[in-house]
């Protein structure tokens, strides 16, 4: 590596390794807040276990509420890792490199919270075992359990594969700077990595397999989540477009969440050199594209219902657009779809702070959209009775807050143990960049055969010779 590239590598390592060995007071305060949220959530769940689902606002009419809304929301956010990491790696988009680990961690963290929500909704925990043992394959709920479990397993493996070289670097760089237990963990996770060519070939082979697997798994998960609703005859759910509708919504909210996280880490860890305006702009383009596509699906969904106005669909649409749910529907529509698309599409508003604000609006709007999908259809009476009423209790709200706190807690603890930017991938990109800059008349020995072995050094793989 030349002097400039070496200085760039050292600067990257100093920036992303520092949070692993230096802890500020603000970090402890933030950790304490998240711990408080999750503790209150555990207390609320203990209350629910003691008093049953009667401690929630769910009743015989509205049998799902905040828990399933959160479930659909977190399953959507998890799509960010599948798209940004896997697809951009396959297409060879070099600008992806600072974002890959964050997007993969977003998937794992969101899926952990996503998997907890149905457990909250089931009431007694022994029902989980009964569902696994006695569940019927004809049930979309069983499909969902299998899909979420498979997706979480595949995503965790995918995240770990790209952690191996950085674990080796941490093993060799942080010896004596971290506790002995933590050093042993790095050693265990590194799997004896030394950056040898055979190790690299195996890692690349394994990563290629996981990249090809995780994309269809991700699409399957979001399709199956939609089929929990779409396989019923309820008004508002009896639709054939729910699978692609949910998949596009997942991409929309997932990219928005990635922009939010990128903005936060950029500010907190001073990563302006790596999370640049270019990354925000490209993700903004994706956000706008998925937003327009989601807007089209929303229009198609309501148009087909509004044109026919059959039975229960007519009653539901009236309540959604003009009745008790109209404030949520129109607020989520304009605040979570129209306004963010305009902010991203207009060049003079396409700045980093505005993109962050637009992404926050998208996530709020998409959570409202999930709530509007779940609750109103269940509130619609199936017999000539009054509409069902659902009002969340403090138990549901505390568990919901704890789920978002748990999502942030996973990020907080992970970034205390591992760099949020994949150091070895960044160096690999710089190496390729240097090779492309070589003169076209360079002798054959100066090409790939003479390039420095990536991740091969006395430090076990985090730098070049």
Give exposure, 149-170, as e/b (b: 16+ Cβ within 10 Å). Answer: eebbebbeebbbbbbbbbbbbb
What sign does the dihedral 401-407-410-415 (CA atoms) show?
Answer: negative
Cα–Cα dist 232/238, whole Å: 6
Q: Which of 109, 85, 105 is CA-nearest to residue 95?
A: 85
**Structure letter (DSSP) for residue 31:** H
Q: What is the pLDDT along the chain (465 residues), one digit of tens a residue?
A: 566 667 777 888 888 888 888 888 999 999 999 999 999 999 999 999 999 899 999 988 888 999 999 999 999 898 877 777 788 788 777 788 888 889 999 999 999 999 899 889 888 888 888 888 888 887 888 888 888 889 999 999 989 998 999 999 899 888 778 888 888 999 999 988 888 888 889 988 988 888 888 888 888 888 888 888 888 888 888 888 888 999 899 999 999 999 999 999 999 988 888 898 999 999 999 999 999 999 999 998 888 888 877 777 888 888 899 988 999 999 999 999 999 999 998 888 889 999 999 999 999 999 999 999 999 999 888 777 788 889 999 999 999 999 999 999 999 999 999 999 888 888 877 777 666 666 654 444 443 333 444 444 333 333 333
Cα distances (angstroms) measured from residue 318 to each of 299, 302, 315, 338: 16, 11, 5, 21
Maximum pairwise Cα distance, the chain:
84
Which domains are present in the chain? 3-432 (1.20.1630.10)
Residues 8 and 464 sit within 8 Å (Cβ to Cβ): no
What sign does the dihedral 135-222-161-165 (CA atoms) show?
Answer: negative
pTM: 0.88
């Amino acid at each position: 590596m030349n002097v400039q590239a070496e200085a760039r590598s050292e600067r990257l390592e100093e920036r992303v390794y520092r949070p692993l060995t230096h802890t500020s007071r603000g970090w402890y305060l933030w950790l304490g807040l998240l711990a408080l949220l999750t503790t209150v959530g555990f207390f609320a769940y203990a209350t629910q276990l003691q008093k049953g689902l009667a401690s929630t606002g769910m009743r015989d009419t509205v049998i799902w509420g905040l828990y399933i809304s959160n479930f659909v929301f977190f399953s959507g956010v998890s799509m960010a890792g599948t798209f940004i990491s896997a697809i951009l790696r396959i297409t060879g988009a070099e600008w992806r490199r600072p974002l890959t680990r964050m997007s993969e961690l977003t998937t794992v963290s969101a899926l952990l919270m996503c998997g907890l929500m149905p457990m909250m909704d089931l009431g007694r925990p022994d029902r989980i075992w009964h569902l696994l043992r006695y569940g019927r394959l004809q049930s979309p709920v069983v499909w969902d359990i299998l899909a979420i479990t498979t997706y979480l397993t595949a995503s965790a493996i995918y995240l770990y594969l790209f952690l191996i070289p950085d674990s080796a670097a941490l093993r060799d760089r942080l010896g004596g700077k971290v506790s002995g237990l933590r050093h042993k963990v790095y050693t265990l996770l590194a799997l004896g990595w030394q950056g040898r060519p055979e190790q690299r070939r195996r890692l690349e082979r394994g990563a290629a397999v996981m990249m090809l697997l995780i994309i269809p798994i991700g699409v399957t998960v979001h399709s199956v989540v939609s089929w929990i609703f779409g396989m019923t005859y309820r008004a508002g759910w009896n639709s054939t477009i729910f699978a692609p509708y949910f998949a596009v919504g997942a991409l929309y909210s997932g990219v928005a969440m990635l922009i939010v996280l990128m903005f936060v880490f950029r500010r907190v860890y001073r990563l302006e050199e790596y999370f640049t305006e270019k990354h925000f702009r490209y993700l903004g383009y994706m956000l706008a594209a998925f937003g327009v596509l989601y807007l089209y699906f929303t229009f198609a969904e309501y148009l087909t219902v509004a044109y026919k106005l059959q039975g229960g669909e007519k009653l539901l649409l009236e309540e959604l657009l003009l009745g008790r749910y109209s404030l949520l529907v129109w607020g989520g529509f304009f605040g979570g779809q129209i306004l963010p698309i305009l902010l991203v599409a207009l060049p003079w508003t396409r700045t980093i702070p505005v993109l962050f604000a637009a992404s926050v609006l998208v996530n709020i709007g998409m959570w409202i959209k999930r709530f509007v999908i779940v609750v109103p259809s269940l509130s619609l009476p199936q017999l000539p009775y009054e509409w069902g009423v659902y009002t969340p209790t403090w138990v549901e709200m505390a568990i919901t807050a704890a789920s978002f706190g748990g999502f942030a807690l996973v990020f907080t603890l992970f970034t205390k143990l591992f760099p949020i930017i994949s150091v070895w991938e960044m160096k690999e990109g710089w190496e390729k960049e240097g090779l492309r800059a070589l003169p076209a008349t360079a002798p054959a020995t100066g090409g790939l055969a003479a390039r420095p072995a990536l991740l091969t050094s006395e430090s076990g793989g985090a730098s070049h010779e």
